[in-house]
Structure 1
Amino acid sequence: MYSKRLPEMYALVGVFCLTLFYGVAMSAAPAFSDRDTNCGGVYKGDSGIVTSPKWPSRYTKKRRCVYEINVLPGRTVNLQFSSFHLQARKKGRCRDWLEVYNGDIRVGGQFCAREIAASRVFKSHANRMTVVFKSDRKRGFPGFKGTYSSAGCGSPVVPRAPWTKNSGNKIVGGNEAAPGSYPWQASLRQYGYSGGFHVCGGALLSNRWVVTAAHCIVNGLQWVVLGDHDRRKSTKAKQTVKIQRVFKHPQYNDDTLVNDIALLKLQSAVSVQPVCLPDPAKEDPAGTVVAVTGWGTVSEGGHTSSVLLQANMPVVDDSYCVDVYNIIADALYGFDKKIDPKIMMCTGYREGGVDTCQGDSGGPVVVFPPKGPAYLTGVISWGYGCGREFIPGVNVRVSAYVDWIRNIIDSN
């Protein structure tokens, strides 16, 4: 079993095998003390869906729901309703209504009937938006469905280089990324002055926070480098920042690599676009195509890459991955790694050949949806070998940790 990091001093920690995500001031946003427990909630991912109670069925009467959308600082919120149908006004008043707050400022009064067009986009000025819904004692109507996303993350200016399977010959199944096309990609460095040795990958979440794998936290880990592409060259885009503080997941297990996730707080802010966090209520299904990147070894036990490499892989069915690693555990004495689909996700091709490998650990597993910003669905963690036939790589399922990530960042 390999953790996908490079060894100390040589960065056996983290290299991955590219072989096997408008306003009129009227009143302040309401407090949460009145929130109906059967609707509303706090939304901390960088994208998500808000719906009326019982959607897509008719909403129930006598409901008051508060939806607080709270993305990371430095981002803003865009909210759009694809469906909106509440009870019509009577004598000019809404009986059932929806309100949108830009921070504490209500936008446009109360909405009902079909008054919010699908083309309308509500945009916040900061990182918080609140939606309030209230129904009266009468019968319910079809309700609403809104989709929100963050602005300020997951939208690289530089387009990605084309990738086709077997197009690469420098990493396990990958090819060279276009410089700047994955701006959130981080390199974790060990020892040395203002740089040191590459140990693992990471992903920038905001201007002072990087997420990585917990097993990448080794002695001498001092620096995070962002804006890098060719590790042999110094460029204006490269930003090297000292690590100020490390937060390992409190239930991380170094033997089983359960909860293999950590956050790094940087000593100073960087000017690099981060990746978006996923919707914590959503899991990407099997077959979803993800992009993986890193400077890891180009083959199992091989040499690392000087330039940033990329590859695309599908998400693997949970039951298949569980079965594969159960077979490995039964066959190998002392192999105690198990797949927990609630907190882990597997990626790769059954025929092998494309995977992450040593030195890629902690790096990003990203979904680029047809519409909307890219989001971090996984963190590269471990696997049995690199790019082997039938054996997928294992990643941290980030959606399971959004609340933990936000709690650490918000309180520090």
Structure 2
Amino acid sequence: MELTFVLLLFVTTVSGCGLPSYQPNTGRVVNGEEARPYSWPWQVSLESFFPTCGGTLIAPDWVLTAAHCIIFHTYRVVLAEHDMNKEEGPEQSIMVDKMFIHPKWNDNCVSCGYDIALLKLQKSAVTNDKVQPACLPQHGATLAHNYPCYVTGWGRLYSGGPRATTLQQALLPVVEHSVCSKNDWWGSSAKTTMVCAGGESKSACHGDSGGPLNCKGRDGRWYVEGVTSFVDGRGCNTPRRPTVFTHVASFIPWISETMARN
């Protein structure tokens, strides 16, 4: 019975995922730009007393985020959010019921990896043209060097700069592990359970943590291939220090097990 449940859960998640009703603007962007409203319908704002991180809806009642984002006891997620300063109508605010941080996460060592967490919502989100889950990649799948992906979030527009009020997106080509782990790049801080993307003028920044690295598959669906984890301490746009994401495909067994048991 449990096996059937897991398979049904996986099929349900995959069949209605990764196909936004409002197509994102995927023209090549040098630094970043405001996203087309509701074109990333799985993007979540994770909030406690204030907006703290991003997240990704991967099932109507499950959100994927970064472990380092979980520092308070109470959270809510806001879906169909675009302009943080306006109540635009379609937003859905749902309290988080349970939080599951990867058991190997060490909050004193972000570069050790395992920066991933799952949030079980108190109730299922209402999926519509503005709220839809992203697809999960296959276990162990990897991305080719320079594969075009997009980071999305409301983080700082640049190091030390203001946080964005509207959802931003930036094109971040993947930097393969053999390059990212070179000594004059991230070195041993880049693990095989991570994905590097961007660098130079393009990166995630503080406040984007936990949000998705969105990559379009050959099937035309969008997959959450990464969870925004860390940038260089010297600044978000440091050369040879691309943004580092948790590699979601490395954690599919843990994600599936956690969702099935809870």
Q: Which TM-score applies when normalising by structure 1?
A: 0.58
- The CA deviation at 1:74 is 3.6
Q: Map 1:260-339 to 2 at 5 A.
A: 260-271=115-126, 272-323=131-182, 324-326=185-187, 338-339=189-190
> What residue number does 2:240 align with?
390
- The CA deviation at 1:161 is 2.0
- The CA deviation at 1:389 is 1.6
Residue 344 (structure 1) aligned to one of 194, 202, 221: 194
Runs of 5+ unmatched residues, structure 1: 1-31, 33-41, 45-68, 76-149, 167-172, 192-196, 327-336
**Matched residues in 2 for 1:225 and 1:72: separation?**
24
Question: Which of the two has greater helix per residue?
Answer: 2
Runs of 5+ unmatched residues, structure 2: none
> What residue number does 1:184 align with?
42
Q: CA RMSD in A?
A: 1.8
Q: Map 1:96-107 to 2 at 5 A.
A: none
- The CA deviation at 1:229 is 0.3
- The CA deviation at 1:241 is 0.6
Residue 253 (structure 2) aligned to one of 403, 408, 411: 403
Are 2:85 and 1:232 equivalent residues in the alignment?
yes
Which portions of structure 1, spanning 4 or more consecutive aligned residues, are displaced by more than 4 angstroms? none
Q: Map 1:11-410 to 2 at 5 A.
A: 71-72=9-10, 74-75=12-13, 150-166=14-30, 173-191=31-49, 197-257=50-110, 258-271=113-126, 272-323=131-182, 324-326=185-187, 338-341=189-192, 343-349=193-199, 352-384=200-232, 385-410=235-260
- The CA deviation at 1:370 is 4.3
- The CA deviation at 1:256 is 2.0
> % of aligned pairs identical?
37
**Matched residues in 2 for 1:360 and 1:294: separation?**
5
Superposed CA deviations along residues 233-292 of structure 1, whole A, max 9, x for unmatched, are: 112210001111100000001122220000001111101210000011321121111111
Change (3 A) 1:165 1:179: closer
Superposed CA deviations along residues 326-384 of structure 1, whole A, max 9, x for unmatched, are: 3xxxxxxxxxx72211x1110014xx111001000000001113433111110000021
Counterpart residue type for residue 186 of structure 2: Y
Contact 1:213–1:380 under 8 Å retained in 2? yes
- Kindly name which structure, 1 or 2, has the bigger radius of gyration based on alpha carbons: 1
Contact 2:35–2:168 under 8 Å retained in 1? yes
Superposed CA deviations along residues 200-247 of structure 1, whole A, max 9, x for unmatched, are: 000001011000000000125421111100011112210001111100
Counterpart residue type for residue 35 of structure 2: A
Number of matched pairs: 249
Contact 1:188–1:221 under 8 Å retained in 2? no
